[in-house]
Each structure stands twice: as structure tokens, then as C-alpha cells.
């Protein structure tokens, strides 16, 4: 086989494994118990590695909030000194088979969803807090901390019981199917999860009713889920993570298996290139701003949520979700163009994620670093935007085009690794 | 004012009233108690008036089934003789502010939804049985009858209690908003109600949980609703009916306020022309057939469900629901074309029903008989198809183009009524 054929064959294996992964949600538990390598006084965060000095404002805010939430510090300045001294360590979620939206901070006593596929791979994500002033956008006020507390007690208990009830009937909740259905119902499953959350509710209600929890508590949890269409974002991200794990470590493969941003840098990892990160400075987001904010206030692009595009949905399925494009300031023609353009840098059309408005074409799936470099087209995604200062929260949403440098570096590294240069 | 200006002004009033009607679901009860003019030994049916001799197979089947359900007959032949003798009478749903999908048969002891708008108008529709062998497609076996029995007991009781619970908080469930949202989630709200049913479930679950019904019964009813995406079809039709009632009886208005088919004839009524029906022979449906069936087996077009298009959604919003078009055998370009074509025969773009893929253009709203005759374009809708013989059920689904004759007749009558000829 020529090297070109080797790569094609490897990419086929990687992308087929990714598409055929059948993630099920089959556990919810504390991060310290479920996430591999999670230690006391350790935090996880979105994107590639970063140190305290270079951490972006919203990431700092979320790390501070997590120290307060864990009781490691009783003020933000105390938390800062813990974090800057290295007594509290922090590592990328992706180093622990995990993903978190925006700042993506996960601390040991936060509950996390576990998504497992038939290969036995397990991926994890934290719980969704809703929108506005929330930890993942860098806010850490008492409102934020008490919501996190409620999520880790009441919400966690009810969802645990409901999932236990569900598992009396089946191995778990098949989440790829929910995403596939939601894409036919106007979701992109990155920034619009209205349909996915509806479908999740439809599935879970019987188990929530049967699980034996008191009516008042049940209704409290139901109202929170029903009031937050981002409830399923984290489940969707964990689904994408376990799918992309299936595609990783295929020798010769040029398929991207991680795309993630920490607010300072954007990074990718590639199937055939092990655990190495290739990074570029995080780009600015072309956004629409909430009243009172402007581009000046915006932190550069942040979050692990680009795992959705890595797995073939989210922004790549924008044509399926014309409603999202208006939310980030575009037209439906632009939504179509983005999806069409992403076909040029991906390996194939997804077998399972279909776009009705493109006569059920599959979504662009499997970013190939060769195609990115050759075409000059980088992945384009949609995202929320955090204030650049810690402690504030979300200030808008928009579209972001990934930087080219990291793809070029990855391709050069590929050449060296496989003796092509 | 010139006559042309009179008509324009009248049409504006009619269509604005229709769009601004705010239907809420605020009652569920037996047809005999709620529907005006409903009598013992009387049945209601879809479409314009028809006699037994000329009734289509599925309509006959549903009328027979209703006699059995009511206990007026103990066999189909007994039912037939009751119906042909006139001892059991039947009248159009539309003569009683009601609508029913397909055969649309409503009998006195069936529960019906009541939809009321701020003007005090009330419209009614029956409960949805699911798909396949069901009364509305002309089936009347013991399975059909026992499902109807369950709907009128268990299902009816739970929904009554849940609605009572809801009404402790608000006047009713605002259904125009559900339709508007569902149109942004891939529904057309004629033949695809997946999103609308999801949204209905999300709204109703808390009240179902709180209403005090035993858990086992609650779950039985929940599973039925969750298993039948057509649950909200009848609520959507009653919504459309009360909206179109708001547009009716505006002097000089050429806006169509009823489009309905009984399987033998298709008929319309016009805002400025009182209660008169204008009819044409019911057309054949251009359909996709279930395995084992063909165009040979298909009954001509039937049902009151074209009330959805009359009110500006359903087939007219096909561009919002590319998934539906594959179900009836077309491409997404065709879905776009249908919506675009319907703009040419309607008064305006809807203020509330928006199509994301057309950059949130309003749906084509208010069929104007003048434009239909002038352009030669008649309304095109999507529909289920019943077997032509009584007792069988659904055999497919497709697209149907309404006949021109009835629009020409209506326009001639308009000329006579207003002294223009």
C-alpha cells in the first residue's frame, strides 16, 4: 500500500469506529469516583493545558468558583493563591476522558454523567447549570455556588434514582439516537438542544415517576430540566467524546479526534499522533452581544464543546438548525454554506446524523488535517461567549473559525512521525 | 371605496382576526355536553354534507364504528340499516364548530377537546387514536372499539384532572405558541406533530404528576401520549378551527375559512359568503403506499385536517418540515416550492408562524379565492390516505392538490352576492 492508501484506510477505520460507536448513558456519580485519574485538590478544565498565569478570565473564574464550591478556600483571593501556588492542580478534561462546556471545570465532588460505548470506552461530562451567571461562563457568586450545591444533591439524587429505574429495563439511554432525531427537529446539538432536551424528557419521565422520589422533589427537578434546554448539552458532549475516543489511536490516521479551547489557546489532537496537542492562540468570536456588552468585553473562544463538531454534529450540522444561525447573527443560506463547506474538510457523510433540508445527507464527519491544510478551510463552529473577566458570565454567542496554524503543525508532525519528510 | 378596496380591507380584517386569535385549550368533555347542536343518535363527520348512499368507504366504516361504539347497533349490518334509514343522522363537524381528522366521526359519548379564543369562540375536536387500524381511517374492529372505550374512560379522566390542575395556574394551554414553536422544530403541524407532541408533554407532565391520579394509570396514559406523535393533531386542528372562525363572516371578504373533504367531495366556505359550501369531487392523492397496497386501494382525499392549511400552517408550512416531504415522497426542494407557491394564493405572511429555513418568513396565510382563480394555483396539502373500503384503515400518505371548480364557483357566487355581475 502507498502511504496515501495507508492513510485512507486508517481514516476509514477511525471514522467508521466513530460513527458506529453506540454511546449509552449508563451512570451518574461523583467525579472523584468515576473519572479516571481524578484526585483530591485537582480540577479539570476545558481545552489544552494551560498554567494559572496564562489562564483566561472565565477559566480563572470557574477555577476559583470550584475551589469555593469544594470548600478548599473561603474567598476568591484564598482560591487564587491556592491555584497560583500549585496546591490545587488543574489538568485538561480531555486528559481524563472528560469534556466540559465553556470553562469546563469539573471538581471532585461534582456529579458527572458517564457515557459508555460497546467497546467499553467511557467518557464523562458535568451537569448543566442553565444560562447566564453560571460557573462555566466564569461566574462564581453565591447564586452560582448554591445552584451547584443543589445540582449535586437534589438533582443528582433524582437523576440517579431515575437512571437506576431505567436500567431495570435496558442497559442505558442511547444518546446517539436522540442526537440523530434532534437533528431532524431543528437542533444542531451544540448551541441548540431544544429538541434533544424534549426527547430526553420524553424518555426519562416514566422513570422519574416510577423511581419513588417524593412528588415535590420530583417536580422541582422536572421544572429545572424543563426550564433549561441546555440540560442535554453535556450528555451530547459526553456522547461525542466517547465516539471520538473510538476513532483515536489509529496508526496513520489524519482524523482529528479532539478540538478544544481553554480561552487562551485552541488545540487539536489527531488519531494517528497519540496524545500530543497542537495549539494556536484562541480566536475571537464573531458574535451578537447581550445588551450592555460589546466585542471589547468578549473572551476569546473557549470550551470543550467543539467535541460535537469533532464527532460530526454541532456547527457542522448548522444546515439542520436554521434557527440557531439567527441567534448567532446569520441567515439560513449561511447555515447551508457552513455545512457545505465542512464537507470539503471531512472524511465522509455521517451514516446516522442526517440533515432533512439537504434531502437527508449525512453531516460532514471526520475532520482530516490534510484536507484542512490543502483547502485552507478550517472548522467553523457556533459557540457561547464569556466575559473576559472572571466572575461575570455569558455576554453573547456567535460563530468562530478555527486558526490554521495548529492544523499545519499537526500535519508537519504527521510527516515526521511517519517518516514522510 | 372601490369594490377592490372593500375586499382588500375586509380580507385584512379577516386575516388579522385569524392571526390574532389566541386559542387556549381550556376544556375536555363529552361531545354531547360541549358541542353545540349535538343530539342523541347524531354523528358528526369530516367535510361537506353527504348522504349515506354517496358516502365514501372510510366514512361509512367510521360511521358504522361509531354506532357500534355508542351501542346503537350490535353488528355492522344493523349499523348500516340505522344509518341508511336516517334513524341515525349525520352532519358535518363544521356545522357544529368542530373538526375531525380523516373520516372525522364524532359521536355523543366521545370526549372532545375544547379550544377557546379571547372572542369567546369555541371549537372542538375528538381525541387521537394513534395510527394504523383506527376509526378515523374507517376501521371498526373490536381493537378499534376497545381503544375508543379506553380513550373515553382512563385517558379522558387523566387528561381532565391534569387540565383542571393546569387551570389552577392559568386559563388554559396556549396552543398557537406550541404550533409556532413546533414549526421551528421540523413539524408542519398537519402530518408531523413530533415536536408539538413533545412540547405538549413538557407542558402537561407537571400537571399530570400533581393531579392525584394513581401512578399506574398515570404511566399508562403517559405511555400512550408518548407513543403517539399524533396526540396533538386534534388539538392543532381545533386551534386552527377557532382561528378560522375568527376570520369568518366578514362582509366582502374573499378569504377561505373552511377547506374540508368527506372522501367523496372536497368543499370550501368563504368568509364573506356565509355558510354556503362550494364543492368539487374529492381528488386522488399522489401517495406512497404501505406494503401490500396501491393507488387502486386508495380512497379519494378525506378529512377536516385541511383546516391547518386554512389557518396558515400544515402543508403551507412544508418548507419548515423537510422531514415530512420524504414521508410523502418528495425532496426538500419540493417542500420549499410548495410553500413558495402558496404565497401566491394567500393574503399575507403570518405574523406568528415563522419558517426558520426561509429566514423566519411567515407562513402563507389566508387563501384568497380571487388569487386562486387568477393564478390557476389551488391549495396543496399533505395527508394520510385511507383504504377505499370500510373496515380497513390507513394505507399510505401523500400530497394532494385541491380541485379548481369549487373556487371558481365560490368566486361566481361572490360576484352575485355583492352585485358585481
pLDDT at A132: 87
pLDDT in single tens digits along all 421 residues of chain A: 899 999 999 999 999 999 999 999 999 999 999 999 999 999 999 999 999 999 999 999 999 999 999 999 999 999 999 999 999 999 999 999 999 999 999 999 999 999 999 999 999 999 999 998 999 999 999 999 999 999 999 999 999 999 999 999 999 999 999 999 999 999 999 999 999 999 999 999 999 999 999 999 999 999 999 999 999 999 999 999 999 999 999 999 999 999 999 999 999 999 999 999 999 999 999 989 999 999 999 999 999 999 999 999 999 999 999 888 877 777 889 999 999 999 999 999 999 999 999 999 999 999 999 999 999 999 999 999 999 999 999 999 999 999 999 999 999 999 999 988 7
Whether residue B372 is predicted with pLDDT greater than 80 in this model: the reply is yes
State the pLDDT confidence band at B268, using cuts at 50, 70 and 90: very high
C-alpha cell at A278: 497542537
- CATH code of the domain occupying A249-417: 3.90.1700.10
CA-nearest of A268, A219, A216 to A402 is: A268
pLDDT at A387: 96
What average pLDDT does the segment B54-71 reach?
Answer: 98
- Interface residue of B322, B353, B358 to substitute, partner A, most A CBs within 10 Å: B322
CA-nearest of B220, B275, B229 to B249 is: B275
Residues of A in contact with B231 (CB under 8 A): none
CA-nearest of A140, A147, A143 to A390 is: A140
- CATH code of the domain occupying B244-417: 3.90.1700.10
pLDDT at B420: 85
Q: Do A201 and B201 touch (CB under 8 A)?
A: yes
What average pLDDT does the segment B72-100 reach?
Answer: 98
Give every CB contact of residue B354 below 8 A, 6+ residues apart in sequence.
Answer: B180, B183, B184, B360, B361, B362, B363
Closest partner CB to B186 (pick from A202, A215, A356) = A356
For B138, counting Cβ atoms within 10 Å of its Cβ (0-12 exposed, 13-18 middle, 19+ buried), the class is buried
- Interface residue of B191, B202, B335, B358 to substitute, partner A, most A CBs within 10 Å: B202
Chain position carrying cell 374512560: B153
Residues of B in contact with A333 (CB under 8 A): 359
Residues of B in contact with A322 (CB under 8 A): 356-357, 359
Chain position carrying cell 368527506: B262
Q: What is the pLDDT of residues B337-362, one digit of tens each?
A: 999 999 999 999 999 999 999 999 99
pTM (2 decimals)? Answer: 0.96
Q: How far apart are CA A217 and CA A213, in angstroms?
A: 7
pLDDT at A57: 97
Angle at A219 between CA A214 and CA A223, to 5 degrees: 155
What average pLDDT does the segment B17-26 reach?
Answer: 98
pLDDT at B174: 98
pLDDT at B121: 98
Q: What is the pLDDT of residues B306-325, one digit of tens each?
A: 999 999 999 999 999 988 88
Q: Do A201 and B199 touch (CB under 8 A)?
A: no
The domains of chain B are located at: 244-417
What average pLDDT does the segment B85-106 reach?
Answer: 98
pLDDT at A1: 84
Residue B14 near residue B250 (C-beta atoms within 8 A): yes
Q: Do A357 and B195 touch (CB under 8 A)?
A: no
For A141, counting Cβ atoms within 10 Å of its Cβ (0-12 exposed, 13-18 middle, 19+ buried), the class is middle
pLDDT at B140: 97
pLDDT at B92: 98
Residue of chain B with shortest Cα separation from A220: B206
Which regions of B103-262 does DSSP assign to beta strands (E)? Answer: 111-116, 122-126, 173-174, 256-262
- Interface residue of B180, B181, B184 to substitute, partner A, most A CBs within 10 Å: B184
Rounded-to-5 percentages of helix, strand, coil across chain A: 45, 20, 35
pLDDT at A412: 98
Q: How far is B2 from chain A (nearest CA, A)?
A: 41
Q: Do A202 and B198 touch (CB under 8 A)?
A: yes
Q: How far is B362 from chain A (nearest CA, A)?
A: 14
Q: What is the pLDDT of residues B110-150, one digit of tens each?
A: 999 999 999 999 999 999 999 989 999 999 999 999 999 99
Residues of A in contact with B195 (CB under 8 A): 185-186, 195, 198
Residue A328 near residue A398 (C-beta atoms within 8 A): yes
Averaged pLDDT of chain B: 96
Q: What is the ipTM of this complex?
A: 0.95
Q: How far apart are CA A263 and CA A299, in angstroms?
A: 7
Whether residue B329 is predicted with pLDDT greater than 90 in this model: the reply is no
Q: What is the pLDDT of residues B241-266, one digit of tens each?
A: 999 999 999 999 999 999 999 999 99
Closest partner CB to A206 (pick from B223, B322, B331) = B223
Give every CB contact of residue B151 below 8 A, 6+ residues apart in sequence.
Answer: B110, B111, B127, B129
pLDDT at B421: 73
pLDDT at B322: 86
C-alpha cell at A210: 416510577
Q: In what order do the strands lie in the sheet with B122-126?
A: B98-99, B122-126, B111-116, B24-30, B173-174
pLDDT at A362: 98
Exposure pattern of A363-374 as b/e (b: 16+ CB <10 Å)?
A: bbbbbbbbbbbe
Residues of A in contact with B201 (CB under 8 A): 198, 201-202, 205
Architecture of domain A23-235: Alpha-Beta Complex (3.90)
Note the helical H segments in A71-193. Answer: 76-85, 142-150, 156-166, 175-183
State the pLDDT confidence band at B44, using cuts at 50, 70 and 90: very high
pLDDT at A116: 98
CB pairs under 8 A between A and B: 92
E strand or H helix at B65, and its extent?
A: helix B57-70
How many angstroms separate the Cα of A185 from the Cα of each of A192, A339, B317?
10, 17, 14
Helix A215-226 crosses helix B194-210 at what angle (to 10 degrees)?
150
Q: How far apart are CA A83 and CA A61, in angstroms?
A: 11
pLDDT at B132: 87
Closest partner CB to A218 (pick from B187, B199, B209) = B209
Residues of B in contact with A332 (CB under 8 A): 356-359
Amino acid at each position: 500500500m502507498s502511504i496515501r492508501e495507508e492513510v485512507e484506510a486508517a481514516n476509514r477505520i477511525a471514522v467508521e469506529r466513530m460513527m458506529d460507536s453506540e454511546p449509552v448513558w449508563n451512570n451518574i456519580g461523583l467525579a472523584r469516583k468515576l473519572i479516571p485519574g481524578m484526585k483530591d485538590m485537582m480540577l479539570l478544565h476545558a481545552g489544552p493545558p494551560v498554567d494559572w498565569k496564562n489562564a483566561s478570565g472565565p477559566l480563572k473564574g470557574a477555577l476559583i468558583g470550584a475551589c469555593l464550591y469544594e470548600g478548599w478556600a473561603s474567598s476568591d483571593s484564598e482560591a487564587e493563591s491556592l491555584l497560583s501556588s500549585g496546591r490545587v492542580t488543574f489538568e485538561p478534561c480531555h486528559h481524563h476522558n472528560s469534556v466540559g462546556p465553556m470553562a469546563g471545570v469539573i471538581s471532585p465532588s461534582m456529579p458527572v454523567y458517564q457515557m459508555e460505548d460497546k467497546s467499553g470506552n467511557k467518557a464523562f461530562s458535568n451537569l448543566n447549570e442553565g444560562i447566564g451567571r453560571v460557573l462555566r461562563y466564569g461566574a462564581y457568586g453565591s447564586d452560582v455556588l448554591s445552584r451547584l450545591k443543589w445540582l449535586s444533591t437534589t438533582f443528582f439524587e433524582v437523576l440517579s434514582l431515575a437512571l437506576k429505574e431505567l436500567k431495570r429495563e435496558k442497559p442505558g439511554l442511547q444518546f446517539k439516537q436522540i442526537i440523530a432525531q434532534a437533528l431532524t427537529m431543528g437542533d444542531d446539538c451544540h448551541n441548540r438542544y431544544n429538541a434533544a432536551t424534549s426527547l430526553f424528557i420524553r424518555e426519562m419521565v416514566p422513570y422519574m415517576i416510577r423511581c419513588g422520589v417524593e412528588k415535590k422533589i420530583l417536580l422541582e427537578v422536572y421544572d429545572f430540566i424543563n426550564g433549561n434546554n441546555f440540560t442535554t448539552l453535556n450528555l451530547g458532549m459526553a456522547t461525542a467524546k466517547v465516539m471520538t475516543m473510538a476513532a483515536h489511536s489509529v496508526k496513520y490516521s489524519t482524523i482529528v479526534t479532539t478540538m478544544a479551547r481553554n480561552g487562551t489557546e485552541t488545540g487539536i489532537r489527531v488519531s494517528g499522533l497519540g496524545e500530543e496537542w497542537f495549539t494556536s492562540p484562541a480566536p475571537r468570536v464573531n458574535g451578537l452581544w447581550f445588551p450592555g456588552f460589546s466585542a471589547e468585553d468578549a473572551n476569546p473562544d473557549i470550551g470543550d464543546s467543539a467535541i460535537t463538531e469533532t464527532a460530526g454534529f454541532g456547527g457542522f450540522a448548522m444546515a439542520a438548525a436554521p434557527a440557531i444561525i439567527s441567534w448567532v447573527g446569520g441567515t439560513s443560506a449561511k447555515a447551508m454554506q457552513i455545512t457545505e463547506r465542512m464537507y470539503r474538510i471531512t472524511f465522509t457523510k455521517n451514516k446516522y446524523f442526517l440533515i432533512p433540508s439537504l434531502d437527508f445527507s449525512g453531516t460532514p464527519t471526520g475532520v482530516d488535517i490534510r484536507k484542512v491544510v490543502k483547502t485552507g478551510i478550517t472548522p467553523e463552529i457556533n459557540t457561547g461567549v464569556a466575559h473576559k473577566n472572571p466572575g461575570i458570565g455569558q455576554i453573547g454567542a456567535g460563530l468562530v473559525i478555527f486558526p490554521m496554524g495548529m492544523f499545519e503543525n499537526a500535519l508537519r508532525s504527521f510527516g515526521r512521525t511517519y517518516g514522510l519528510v
